[in-house]
Amino acid sequence: MSEVTVESSSRGRSRANNFKSSEGETLINEVEKRKAKLFGALSPFLTKSAKASEWKLVAEEVSKVSSVKRSAKEVKQRWKNMKSVSKKTLGTKMNLPFMNKTGGGEARDQLSSSEVRMLGIIGESSVCGVSGGFDTSASSRRLSGNVTLI
């Protein structure tokens, strides 16, 4: 494997090569396989170092399909970016309450297979929220009677 090649910008900073689609697919596959260890709660059996080791294994698998050797840090950051973009895309496709009403506009776009897999990994509640829940970030909450929390 070759080392990460970097491009220099006018400010003297370097950046790594972009991830290819094959690397993204491999990343999704590996995270899907290791979901419990990568995102499970810390315990005596699942330590921070165990999680770091799992990210290194994911990076090794991603590097196998790439011309660039990827570090665990790069792969973990790429996963965070992919998750963020997926939440936004899936949220747009799934959280349109007016779409369920009469005259709600055009039909929803169907989810792609990779979007369905991402939804399975990150969880529908991360995208759509908890049904029946309430927004805890609202500026005020009515407690009881005339008491209002601000």
* Mean pLDDT of the region 33-41: 95
pLDDT, tens only, 110-136: 788 888 898 889 888 777 777 766 666
Per-residue pLDDT tens over the stretch 77-95: 999 999 999 888 888 777 6
What is the H or E stretch that residue 143 is in? strand 141-144
Residues 90/115, Cβ–Cβ less than 8 Å: yes
Token digits of residue 107: 């039909």
The mean pLDDT of the chain is 80
**pTM for the structure as a whole:** 0.71
CA distance 65 to 25: 10
For residue 66, is pLDDT > 70?
A: yes
